[in-house]
Amino acid sequence: MHDWENSLIPADATIRDAIKTINDGGFEIAVVADGEKKLLGTITDGDIRRGLLDGLDMNASVEKIMNRDPLVAPPDTTHKGLLKIMNSDLFRQIPLLDDTRQVVGLAHIRDLTKPIATRRNWVVLMAGGLGERLMPLTEQTPKPLLTIGDKPLLQTILESFVEQDFRRFYISVNYKAEAITAHFGDGKKWGVDIRYLEEDKRLGTAGALRLIPERPDAPMIIMNGDLITRINFQDLLDYHEQQNSHATMCVRQYDFQVPFGVVGIDGNRITSIDEKPVHRFFVNAGIYVLDPALIERIPADANHDMTDFFEGIIADGEDTTVFPVHEYWLDVGHIDDLDKAKRDFENEFKA
């Protein structure tokens, strides 16, 4: 049983503090309160990601992102009443306040409903690449089976999803496909259903989706098979739904520092000097959520990457969103990345 008071933070806390509270508090929310526990606001995962998209950094005050008028309920609200409030606004938790607006508890949807046995959402893991940047290691072993810690990279990815109750998987295979299918089989070892999208030729990170023989009835998660991350995938799915998005791309913040003083000019006159400025970008993190109907928009039997796919649906006016990733994330693309993943494994993934 989690102690709801561990989800309280003061108004002078930072976004970094809020992330830790959300991750460690057990209620997936940070409740901003004064010294007398009077409610000032709430912070959810979505609030943090919107703040990052607005350019805030981890040391910014929680007051810049908190919801000052959150949904609340009296402590004597029935379970049925709390569920009605949560379901109407897609919330998973509600602060409970007394007549003086003092926080006296937190209601979480997990405590009001039966646990989810399996998720409806399918997961597609892209594991058909050649791994050329990791040669000679990949001459005999496909990149997804390179060992990190005590297990193959793709097994760590699979088990991250299994821990979060996903049970239906497709793995796209091409290069050394037989090694991957032999290791994972039909998934019974993990209590899941694994099927394979066998590419006769390389179809790219989107083209393989056309090989799925049937269409799911819920948004799909697609993830490159050379990433390791600690994303909460339910947060990703919730965000996709709350934004009314048809396609969501996970992005990472990437900072690039110019190693010189940048001189602003007007004609031949100096207007400013910016010493070693940092430029901030958001880059593709290789994880996506797609509504099933969009699969038909992918060309059949053709090499088609996710970047091509997103460019096409954006041009067609589809609703697309980005989901900024602040959790641990690493693209194992080079030897140095593999070495880092091995060093990080004990802290990030070892149970």
* Closest residue by Cα to residue 159 from 27, 312, 345: 345
**Residue 112 pLDDT:** 79
**pTM for this structure?**
0.82
Question: What pLDDT score does 37 carry?
Answer: 92
In 3D space, the residue among 153, 189, 194, 193 whose CA is nearest the CA of residue 171 turns out to be 194
Query: Considering the domain 123-348 in this protein, what is its CATH number?
Result: 3.90.550.10
Q: Low-confidence residues of the chain, pLDDT below 50?
A: none
Question: Could you tell me the CATH superfamily of domain 4-111?
Answer: CBS-domain (3.10.580.10)
The pLDDT, as a whole number, for residue 179 is 93
| Structure confidence at residue 131 (pLDDT) | 74
SS (H, E, C) the chain: CCCHHHHEECCCCEHHHHHHHHHHHCCCCEEEECCCCEEEEEECHHHHHHHHHCCCCCCCEHHHCCECCCCCECCCCCHHHHHHHHHHHCCCEEEEECCCCEEEEEEEHHHCCCCCCCCCCCEEEECCCCCHHHCCCCCCCCHHHCEECCEEHHHHHHHHHHHCCCCEEEEEECCCHHHHHHHHCCCHHHCCEEEEEECCCCCHHHHHHHHCCCCCCCCEEEEECCEEECCCHHHHHHHHHHCCCCEEEEEEEEEEECCCEEEEEECCEEEEEEECCEEEEEEEEEEEEECHHHHHHCCCCCCCCHHHHHHHHHHCCCCEEEEECCCCEEECCCHHHHHHHHHHHHHHCCC
Closest CA to 103 of 29, 18, 36: 36
Q: What spatial distance separates the first Cα and last Cα of the chain, rounded to whole Å?
A: 20
Instruction: Write down the mean pLDDT value for the chain.
Output: 89
Question: What residues does each domain of the chain span?
Answer: 4-111, 123-348
Can 4-111 and 123-348 be said to share one CATH topology? no
